[in-house]
Amino acid sequence: MQAINEKNGKKCQTLDIYFAARRKEEKLKIHEKMKENENKRLHQSAKKQIIGLF
């Protein structure tokens, strides 16, 4: 991907593709972590309900 550097009018390579991929990867990791935490919370809640039944 190329972008024009406005200061001197030269074309320069940008790292947009690289950074976009990294951001997407980080978002996926965060989403995964959130799902993990949600599952833990649900599991704990289910345990409490089961214990409450006895």
Task: Give Cβ neighbours of residue 13 (< 8 Å, ≥ 6 apart).
Answer: 1, 2
Widest distance between CA atoms in the chain: 76
* pLDDT (0 to 100) of residue 14: 63
Q: What pTM, to 2 d.p., does this model score?
A: 0.52
Residues 6 or more apart whose Cβ sits within 8 Å of residue 2: 11, 12, 13, 14
Range of the structural domain that residue 14 is part of:
2-53
Domain count, the chain: 1
Along the 54 residues of the chain, how does pLDDT read in single tens digits?
345 555 555 555 566 667 778 888 999 999 999 999 999 999 999 888 888 877
